[in-house]
Structure 1
Amino acid sequence: MSCTSCSTGKPNGCKSNGGCSTGGCNRMNVHDWLANLPFSDPESSCRIVEVSFNQGSRKDYYRNNSLQIFEKGDIISVEGVSGFDVGTVSLTGELVRLQLKKHSLKEDTSEFKKILRLATDNDINKWKETKAREHEVLIRSRAIARQLKVDLKMAEVEIQADGRKATFFYIADDRVDFRELIKIYASEFKVKVEMKQIGARQEAGKVGGIGSCGRELCCSTWLTDFKSVNTNAARYQNLSINQTKLSGQCGRLKCCLNYELDTYLDALQHFPDDAEVIEVAKGRAFLIKKDIFRNLMWYSMHDSTRHYPLSIESVKKIKEQNRQGIKPEALETVEIVSGKTKEAEPAFVDVVGHISLKSLEKNSRRRRDSDNSRKANMAKKPQQQNAPNVNQNNPRPNNRNNRPPRKKNR
């Protein structure tokens, strides 16, 4: 994946100035296209290795002082804070030098920590135990912060592989005094505590999710440099200012509003700036919108609901005439051709005299013949006589006298 404006050097791109062609702007899925090529000179190869932690949410660089060659995907043990940490090799070789150049890091400095070894079974088992413990620590840390009434939101906890250090990522609107909170965390979890403040976009990148486009969030896959986004980016692209549709899962404006902003700004340079109102003989026409894809400008009159699409050349011509005090008779609209084929509307047809009385008489005669045939069929059926009811004239028998006498209560 690469940016469309990386080679232009504009501020809304990734600022790699062409580095996207090497996969340099990716965050997790870096494409190492030099991995299968043999080393021509192993001594001059880059000794710095890029290592990813916590499923790629954090990356760091370590120096390989040994003669062992590490490949992408190897699980290695590296130096940590008073211990060791376990990560996955994400990039090696010459592409690491491009990444160092991107982050303004020098290869010959001694600031890089060392790679200890390939991770052993004990290292991996210890690493898995600490990873399984992170969720429990996160829930407990939120409860402690709530008890102390500290105004922050704990987003994620990352524990070092040996379990000696834990980094707490939190979100806060204002400055927070968490000195007492750090003491409780250190005594509760028996680790060295480090607090790091992150923004809402960084939190969404750590949590992850699926965007409204149906793809995984950019901030959780490849986007690492978060630019400021404002509503002007939506206005330049003729998008409706709907806060629900323009906001991402972080609650801020979507970062993708900046992806095509430079293209729209370049296209808007061909449109006249002072063309909000133009004058014609019928009155004033007001600008409604600018159609960048068709290079059209839509106008409407004050006393009319019709919209007039004008080309850029027509608008410039009318503005030049208005400066000279000339008002054109009407607006020269552009016929918009759509991809759909229009259905031919039926024309008016005069049918007077086409219907004769003979056709009406024929229909009535046909209806009369069907009625006569129905009556003849009814007459052929034998009439069924109802059998006389035997009990029709016999009165209902009175059996009251045959009833047994009632018993009297004593």
Structure 2
Amino acid sequence: MPVVVGIQFKPVTKVYHFGAQELLDLGAGDHVIVETAKGTEVAQVVESPHMIDQKEVVGEMKNVLRRASAWDMVQRDLWARKEQEALAVCRQKAREHHLDIKIVRCDYNYTGGRLLIYFSAENRVDFRTLVRELARVFRTRIEMRQIGVLDEAKLLDGVGKCGRQLCCTSWLRE
């Protein structure tokens, strides 16, 4: 039976399970480095190492590469600050291209090799020229992902009619 840890890439998102045969001392709140299909990422442990039945493993299980060091956390914070700058530039470039889209959020991966841009739009939008220009400006791979209004609310956070934090940002995961 494989030993796994549950991790999250962002707070209140889906919990993913990664193999942790070598890192049995990990605890909730620890940060780790993992390899995903999209590249290397920093994630937070939310479930301590535990065994699961082999039948529960769907596809190939990836492993935790290592515990995140202080340097890894500094790098993560550096890219998080650059995300705010990227957001302003992306919004400006979208206006220059006269695109009817709302840039909601920008996320760099751990290495800065990919910039994921979340946007919302009423209609289908051809943003290929925008992507080419952004790739030239940021010198990295650009990925744009269209999201709906509920996902937008989750990314931006806010207060519901009841006066409390939105459920999708405080406790709903799916």
- The interval holding the TM-score normalised by the smaller chain is 0.7 to 0.9
Is the aligned partner of 1:68 residue 2:23? Answer: yes
- Distance in 1, matches of 2:38 and 2:172, equals 31
* Superposition RMSD in Å: 2.5
Unmatched runs of 5 consecutive residues or more in structure 2: none
Secondary structure at the aligned position of 1:113 is classed as coil
Secondary structure at the aligned position of 1:185 is classed as helix
- Distance in 1, matches of 2:66 and 2:162, equals 42
- Pairwise CA distance, 1:171: 0.6
Alignment identity in percent?
A: 29
- Pairwise CA distance, 1:58: 5.7
Is the aligned partner of 1:207 residue 2:156? Answer: yes
Is the aligned partner of 1:133 residue 2:82? Answer: yes
Alignment CA distance shift 1:83-1:122 (3 Å): farther
**Paired residue for 1:109, among 23, 47, 59?**
59
Q: Which amino acid in the other structure matches residue 85 of structure 1?
A: E
1:218-238 deviations in Å (ceiling 9; x for gaps)? 01112244xxxxxxxxxxxxx
| 1:399 matched residue in structure 2 | none
- Distance in 2, matches of 1:59 and 1:198, equals 20
Secondary structure at the aligned position of 1:129 is classed as helix
Is the aligned partner of 1:79 residue 2:35? Answer: yes
Alignment CA distance shift 1:152-1:61 (3 Å): farther
What pairs up with 1:68-217 in 2 under 5 angstroms? 68-69=23-24, 70-80=26-36, 83-93=39-49, 106-107=56-57, 109-110=59-60, 112-217=61-166
- Distance in 2, matches of 1:108 and 1:168, equals 29
Q: Which amino acid in the other structure matches residue 34 of structure 2?
A: V
Which TM-score applies when normalising by structure 2? 0.86
Q: Which amino acid in the other structure matches residue 120 of structure 1?
A: S
| Structure with the bigger percentage of strand | 2
What pairs up with 1:253-332 in 2 under 5 angstroms? none
Unmatched runs of 5 consecutive residues or more in structure 1: 1-43, 98-104, 226-410
| 1:28 matched residue in structure 2 | none
In our comparison, the structure showing a higher alpha carbon Rg is 1
Secondary structure at the aligned position of 2:117 is classed as strand
